[in-house]
Structure 1
């Protein structure tokens, strides 16, 4: 029945498109005197039926697509800088950085074989997470160490198998061990029939890069002799840039160049694969029309630039309609005080002079971006097709069960700097939780009622158990980071998309309701679904100068903005919810959901594990 519904949906959309389209031009067989002439005819019913059957066949016949990703290590200088770590710590996927593009179509089954070939003194393990893929019914394929699997040892492999029956859009895959995803990532594209017309597509993978040894960075943020990873030395676009003019001309590839043809319309897929900073993304003299956010279609929104947090993705329509020339692409840091200016690439119109990929431009040649503003233009995002969320009947006016997650940055007496959530320090399990459930070692009957009375947290299980079929509102309460500023935090929900149903400044107040007229609170009446949401600093941002108190003088956490996201518990499994700033996640900004635990065993067995 599901395939029939999808086919009918395609049929309906096809009829709407054809109804609005002009008559079609065909070159057909004709007498010799008429060869080469174009005849204008209306599409016949038989022609429409052929198209319908082709679409229906695609819906019914799912394809099994297999990939092998071999993880190795190498020395790399993507920004032309001569720094080399004492032990090669850059991970490559099939010898590439970024990794190869994984492609499938809606309805397909993906089989990804990940091989750990990191033969080095560090003896590193690895996993692979498919960011934004819900893994409905396949929780063992989520790629989170000690939640859904053991990390893959050197010389071994792990096979991830999952389908994409109900998803399409722009995703990506990345390692979920330590800071490996600084380089171990690649695009994951799920194709589908689009109601938007475009000629071709291009992919932009955003990244960040340090002139430091990754192993030293990882050790620094989890040890008593704590040290911060630092701000990135370079911002990368498709794995390349030039660190500064001193290294221009060095034979390292220079800037990434994306070629376009004048007059064509492109779908640009922009992936926030960076690991620390939110980025603005723009192209000189061009605009974007946003059509997709985190794999969900939205009604078109035109903008001069994008704001992309770690883990977020956008698709935009791009009209190559400017003078044939070369145009600079630029990324700049948002919501952090340090702004490397070297996130540069080049848009090259075919027919223009050679792209100046080895020449560092003057800053005046780059696109400029306005001062940061909380929520950016997200209020303009509206769902393209509410029916695509079926069977979810989202009523934002009806309260759901609420769980408040208050973050706090603290320094322990030992010298270790950590993030806590509701004063709880995250403890990594010794055995993957889902394997304990499958083996019978872990109870499948959590006390949901008792946990709900403790703001959702089960102290014995050290997780947040949620019942199947529940709507849950998570309030993500932002607080000032030591010593005195508030940062933006991108929160990612594994196993689910979520709806941003409300946000506000300062401290969350559960007594404020829609219609109260509180200017500090916004209730979203028609939210889009996404899987990574940015909680903005509404005070104490790095550029704020009008704060009335110094938060460092307070022994209490200082609130500085919040966002409420709603999920529907329809996916039995063990799922991570975390800040997608890697260092913050490693320092403890993460929780674990145990969802419909009583159904996990049957769910996994149904999938053949």
Structure 2
């Protein structure tokens, strides 16, 4: 059900009702495994909005376990209560429903949503989310004949619950991603899958593709046989328009490209192949671009892309993606009005991502600390008990690596309306990808090896692109700036599902002591309570948890090994 109620000319209310269920009949790779559908659809339905619209999504959880939905890249201005991650929301229990309400305020662009807990993203539940320009804001390219959403990502061979057990077991196993799906469908002319995706075009017309990597671990290179693409947007930013033969899209990222159907009437391959990985046996994702008057099937070899291990190509392409400084986006004033040429940095985080053993099991860490998800959302604890018993602020080492690996629930403070510099250092042997809810990153630099203050001389401070998810190359670093003007509790995480599920995340609390609801919204009327605040024994539990966190604080100060803290 979709209803629009006018708010003058500036915004609308959008009402959606979703039934989230498991379907065993879709078989994306012809193997019996459950797929998470929304209203029977895989991928889920498009949320099609315009800047400043208010979206209401009533989610009915028909799964046999708790569910949360998150809105990847939607900044939730002043309202982290609707973020849909474990640190901000209580989950929707099986057989229950809950209504999200969020505004796509001061945003445009291409995004997607997905389930954020219990490894459920590996089973689907994702879908496209568009934020269109208001009519009064000029779009910096001609209006396309049509727009298509391409949700592309790797897919595992095992049911998601089996994969969840494997990756969380005593001997870590990589999620067995061997296939790439395009809009939930298999590859053209393959022996596996439920058919292939086909996009119909008319000769001579201009089209827009909104491409998102909704997978769990693999980067892919995207290309269209015999057609050039023009990059125009990424995750809410209009970019300088560059012509591409192929585009690397890393986990969690979204792009918009334009192309003209300027070839003969025929069918052409649309291809997504794994990149920055040297593992044999991976299956490409192949769809079809179908010209309306075509009587010919796609044929010949797939269009070649860059060598899958050509890091220079990938990094150079990433550096070439720049902000369009002269166009408006959500606002009429040019994007370049908000530049970082002369900003003053208030905080510096240097975050090393790696993996460690805890009591015989593998976990992923940030600066040798693996995040332990409490039963009580941090935002709820912050509101009801000033965080007492669930977390303690400012004990996480934001710029150093602990000598001994520990687990814990930690929150770092971000200075409200301050500029933060974050260095993501990837100590893994594979690609990583990082995302910050609530904000956009100014992507100012990439580099190999260790980062040092002298690395700042290589930054691009003139026109760095702003996006919500950024890739980090193996044994390399990525530097970003962010302006922390959005009060709330915000998740900073690896977008690789296994890394995130096993502890490669943290939270940044951006606090404004002013209780003015114009600065941060109060909790919603339908606030769910769980964990420490779901029973009459709250005081006792809070006291016990506080003692545990005092012990954790002592461990961080002394660099001793900490036993697991299960809260």
TM-score tier by shorter-chain length is 0.7 to 0.9
- Rounded to whole Å, the distance in 2 between the matches of 1:116 and 1:563 is 38
Question: Aligned to 1:474, which of 417, 422, 425?
Answer: 422
Q: In the aligned structure 2, how far is the partner of 1:173 from the partner of 1:326?
A: 31
Q: 1:410, 1:419 within 8 Å by CA — same for their partners in 2?
A: yes
Distance in 1, matches of 2:466 and 2:174, equals 33
Task: Check whether the contact 2:269–2:289 (CA below 8 A) recurs between aligned residues.
Answer: yes
Q: CA deviation at 1:255?
A: 1.3
Matches within 5 A, 1:329-348: 329-338=270-279, 340-348=282-290
TM-score, length of structure 1 as denominator length: 0.76
Distance 1:211 1:461 in 2: 32
Structure 2 residues without counterparts, runs of 5 or longer: 1-5, 528-567
The answer to whether 1:296 aligns with 2:233 is no
**Alpha carbons 1:241, 1:342 under 8 Å: kept:** no
Give the equivalent residue in structure 1 for 2:553: none
Map 1:124-135 onto structure 2 (within 5 A): 124-135=65-76
CA–CA distance in structure 2, aligned partners of residues 476 and 323 of structure 1: 46
Partner of 1:510: 453
TM-score using structure 2 length: 0.81
Aligned to 2:377: 432
1:128-169, Cα deviation, whole Å (9 max, x unpaired): 101110001221111002x11111111111211111120111
Cα-to-partner distance string for 1:218-246 (whole Å, 9 max, x where unaligned): 1122233543322x231111111149744
Matched, 1:530 2:467: yes
Structure 1 counterpart of 2:511: 596
- Please state how far the C-alpha of 1:487 moved relative to its aligned partner: 1.4
Partner residue of 2:350 out of 404, 425, 432: 404
Tell me the CA shift for residue 338 of structure 1.
Answer: 2.2
Match of 2:369, SS state, is coil
Q: 2:440 aligns with which of 497, 515, 530?
A: 497
CA contact (8 A) 1:221 1:229 kept: yes
User: Quick check: 1:71–1:94 contact (8 Å CA) kept in 2?
Assistant: yes
Question: Alpha-carbon deviation of 1:90?
Answer: 1.6
* 1:69 paired to 2:18: yes
Question: Does the CA contact (< 8 Å) of 1:295 and 1:313 recur in 2?
Answer: no
Aligned counterpart for 1:208 among listed residues 143, 154, 157: 154
- Following the alignment from structure 1 to structure 2, what is the Cα–Cα distance between the partners of residues 403 and 573? 18
Give the whole-Å Cα distance in 2 for the aligned partners of 1:499 and 1:506. Answer: 21
Q: Which has the larger radius of gyration?
A: 1
- 2: CA distance between counterparts of 1:71 and 1:299? 39
Contact 2:364–2:503 (8 Å) recurs in 1 = yes
Judge conservation of contact 2:355–2:365 (CA < 8 Å) in 1: yes
Q: What CA deviation, in whole Å up to 9, does each residue of 1:485-539 have, x standing for no partner?
A: x21111011111111122211011124442xxxxxx45443201100000123xx
Distance 1:335 1:223, change over 3 A: same
Tell me which residue corresponds to 2:431. Answer: 488
**Superposition map of 1:362-377 within 5 A:** 364-370=301-307, 371-373=310-312, 374-377=314-317
Shift of 1:397: 6.8
1:93 and 1:460, CA in 2 relative to 1: closer, same or farther beyond 3 A? Answer: closer
Mapped contact 1:244–1:342 kept (Cα < 8 A): no
| Whole-angstrom distance in 1 between the partners of 2:100 and 2:248 | 31
- 1:302 shift after superposition: 0.7
1:162 corresponds in structure 2 to 102
- Confirm or deny: 8 A CA contact 1:99 1:186 kept in the other structure: yes
Map 1:254-403 → 2, pairs under 5 A: 254-338=195-279, 340-353=282-295, 355=297, 364-370=301-307, 371-373=310-312, 374-384=314-324, 385=327, 387-388=333-334, 392=338, 394-395=340-341, 398-403=344-349
Q: Flag the structure with higher strand content.
A: 2
- Tell me the secondary structure at the aligned position of residue 196 of structure 2: coil
Question: Is this contact kept in 2: 1:572–1:600, CA < 8 A?
Answer: no
Answer whether contact 1:80 1:254 (CA < 8 A) is retained: no
Note the C-alpha offset of 1:430.
Answer: 2.1
What is residue 83 of structure 2 aligned with on the other side? 142
Name 2:534's counterpart in structure 1: none
- Distance in structure 2 (CA, Å) of the matches to 1:463 and 1:211: 35
Query: CA shift at 1:60, angstroms?
Result: 4.2
Query: Helix, strand or coil for the counterpart of 1:435?
Result: helix
User: Matched residue of 1:425: which SS?
Assistant: strand
1:99 corresponds in structure 2 to: 44
Counterpart Cα distance in 2 of 1:149 and 1:259: 41
**CA separation of 1:393 and 1:582: change in aligned 2, threshold 3 A:** same
Kept in 1: contact 2:352–2:401 (CA 8 A): no
Shift in Å, 1:58: 8.2
Any conservation in 2 of the 1:222–1:587 contact (CA below 8 Å)?
yes
